[in-house]
Homo-oligomer: A and B are copies of this chain.
Amino acid sequence: MNFLEERIMKDGIVKEGNVLKVDSFLNHQMDIALFDEMGAEWKRRFADKPINKILTIEASGIGIACVAARHFDVPVVFAKKSKSINIEGDMYVAEVESFTHKCKNQVIVSKKFLSPEDHVLIIDDFLANGCALQGLISIITEAGATVEGIGIAVEKGFQLGGRLIRNLGFQLESLAIVDAMDASTGEITFRKQ
């Protein structure tokens, strides 16, 4: 087990309905030393990529992305989520349909901050069905920029998102992939990487 899998075993809580609560260290209270270690690991895995920008999405991706960015020495841009339609001009907008909550959300980034010169690493805390991630990829593509890779903290391997993204040929580096969880025993099965 790597450092993140160990931390999930120690402090993660499995709840009914395939819910994994990691809010004590990842997405409500945040362990900055852990984020730093995650950043170092992504830097190792994406060492050969000419990354000049990190893109994440509000809210829980921002902390991880900002701490990880120190290892890449690049700025971070965070995409905004919105249910509304009225956007002031000069924004990239991707409409993404949630698989679970039958609603449409918009993912928004100002055109000022993505251009064809950008080589982007996407960072987020969770990957399940990957709707938000699809919106981010769509925006990077629309900007003419390059997706150099995707760094995820926790992937739910039993949902569709990871397979879809790998099938599309992207380098997706999830630091922990949960293949199964059992709420009655608290057991978590990680994929061997």
Contact = CB atoms under 8 A, between A and B. Distances in A.
A108 to B, nearest CB: 10
Interface stretch (A73-81, A129-137, A162-170): A73-81
Nearest to A112: B24
A35 to B, nearest CB: 7
A78 to B, nearest CB: 7
A29 B70 contact: no
Interface in A62-100: 62-63, 65-67, 69-70, 73-78, 80
Interface residues of A, number: 31
A32 to B, nearest CB: 5
A110 to B, nearest CB: 6
A110 B28 contact: yes
A44 B153 CA distance: 32
Nearest to A76: B30
A32 B69 contact: yes
Interface string A9-41: 000000000000001110011111101100000
A191 B70 CA distance: 31
Contacts of A179: none
Contacts of A1: none
Nearest to A31: B75
A160 interface: no
A113 interface: yes
B36 A70 contact: yes
Closest 6 CB pairs of A and B: A58-B59, A63-B66, A62-B62, A29-B113, A59-B59, A32-B69
Interface of A: 23-25, 28-33, 35-36, 58-59, 62-63, 65-67, 69-70, 73-78, 80, 109-110, 112-113
